[in-house]
Chains A and B, each alone.
Chain A
Amino acid sequence: MNAATMHTDKIEANDLSVFFRQAQVLKRVALKVPEKKVMAVIGPSGCGKSTFLRALNRMHDLVPGARVEGRILLDGENINDPRVDAVALRRRVGMVFQRPNPFPSMSIFDNVAAGLKLNRVKGNHAEVVERCLRQAALWDEVKDRLGHSPLSLSGGQQQRLCIARALAVEPEVLLMDEPASALDPIATARIEELIHELKARYTIVIVTHNMQQAARVSDQTAFFYMGELIEVGATEQIFTNPREKRTEDYVTGKFG
């Protein structure tokens, strides 16, 4: 490993396997995510995309029967080391889920500030909330009703709220698990625009079912199939000139 790759790879998974009880769902995956780039993860349903993503912020810790093997380096440090505090790690590696999941008992404002308030971070929360809502391209739509329930927002707005909430804890990496799959095309386009803007500051790993979306938003694409990483490369290469037959079959829609 030379100095240059150490510097530019934000995440490096080595020999990563995940088991749910007996079943091995992820098989010895090796993958590098460059810093401040967007990596798309594609593959048929059930191939382990979410499982891979959730390994990156140790969400599997909380699933009974789940076991993670191998190393995941974040800035060169193995996050699966038992000495690493998973709670602190999750502040560095934020996550946006498939279905918008704002906290229904909190106002729009409190949703964005939730990470700060719950972790007792001092400072000007109003400023942070405005900045994150602006970053999530939601500020103009909600600035006059910050005290309202998040459930008064549309699905697309709720998802952008969840993105703002994730940004407020100032993560370095943003994991997005099919963030637009429950949204209409217009809301989806907004989220994609947003990803383009966020890439200047964050390293993003996004799972998507939608091939066009992967092509539009990502710099690199990883194709998973039945728990294995089949191929990873520049997005353009994966879509126009894949090395593997299975990748080609999948991106051209022969199966999926």
Chain B
Amino acid sequence: MNGSLLRRKAVNHLLTGLCALMVLVALLPLVSVLWLVIKNGAAGLSWTFFTALPRPVGEEGGGVGNAVVGTLYIVAIACAFGLPLGIGAGVYLAESRNGLFARGIRFTAELLAGVPSIVIGIVAYGVVVVPMKRFSALAGGVALALLMIPTLARATEDLVRLVPGSLREASLALGVPQWKTSLRVVLRTAMGGIVTAVLLSIARVAGETAPLLFTALNNQYWNLRPDQPTSTLTVQIFNYAISPYEDWHAKAWSAALVLLLVVGVLNLLARQMTRTRLKGAR
């Protein structure tokens, strides 16, 4: 009796210890990536690096200001297309359950979510770049939107389905039409989770390089015109990193650190904006 209790306690401790170890092992690469980026990138970081245009090789100074703005700009374009379509499709999927059309869309979304991002880039190239006969921020935004939509749709669908049916009934019983119930009650209740899903997908697409290489391309100057090539942090990092120049390699590290910061700040901002949590909420 007593022996089995001791044994159980021992097994319990052993497994708890094992789990803690696993967490450490899992965190190790993450922490080392962060450490490496900070170690190599922090030196080149300065206000100028954030705000200035890039300089030709060999020249001192210069920065990635246009790439920071370009990344935000292209992500904003991606959101303009991707959020309404992704979230809208997700709400539709959740509400229409198992109609043939809905099943078709769900299957397509699953398929799309698994398509490598470079293939999405090729699609955007064919659909936007070729007819416009130029690389552009728009093309980059479309490529990133195509990446966002399927994952966002599936995440939204799952989150909307988690909203208890009793809330929908409560709203309908107040004489609120069905579509308004879906948007203003059900979707709103799921919003906290959806915001998180949106943040994750923004963080993901902001870090994409492949689909931008032949859509938004790059630009050595400031650009906020949707029909012009646009610099992004990721493509800039890529260009710096594959160059043979030492000082550009250093800039690649610093730009990588800037990218991490930008994504981090985006996260914080969005979280702050949606922190209208009511007092006493559990």
Contacts and interface: CB of A to CB of B under 8 A. Distances in A.
Interface of A: 57, 59, 62, 87-92, 94-95, 97, 99, 101-107, 114-115, 118-119, 145, 147-149, 151-152, 162, 165-166, 169
Given A99-B166, A101-B166, A90 B174 contact: yes
B96 to A, nearest CB: 11
Interface in B172-204: 172-178, 180-181, 184-185, 188-189, 191-192
Interface of B: 164, 166-167, 169-178, 180-181, 184-185, 188-189, 191-192, 277-282
Nearest to A152: B280
A185 B50 CA distance: 65
Given A99-B166, A101-B166, A103-B185, A149 B281 contact: yes
Given A59-B169, A115-B175, A118-B176, 15 more contacts: A87-B175, A87-B176, A87-B177, A90-B172, A97-B170, A97-B173, A103-B188, A104-B189, A105-B188, A105-B189, A105-B192, A114-B171, A119-B175, A148-B280, A149-B277
A210 to B, nearest CB: 21
Contacts of B188: 103, 105-106
Contacts of B172: 59, 62, 90
A148 B279 contact: yes
Contacts of A59: 169, 172-173
18 contacts: A62-B172, A89-B175, A95-B169, A97-B170, A97-B173, A101-B166, A102-B170, A103-B170, A105-B191, A106-B188, A115-B176, A118-B180, A119-B175, A148-B278, A151-B281, A162-B170, A165-B170, A169-B174
B225 to A, nearest CB: 39
Nearest to B166: A101
Given A115-B176, A118-B176, A119-B176, A149 B279 contact: yes
A118 B174 contact: yes
Contacts of B164: 101
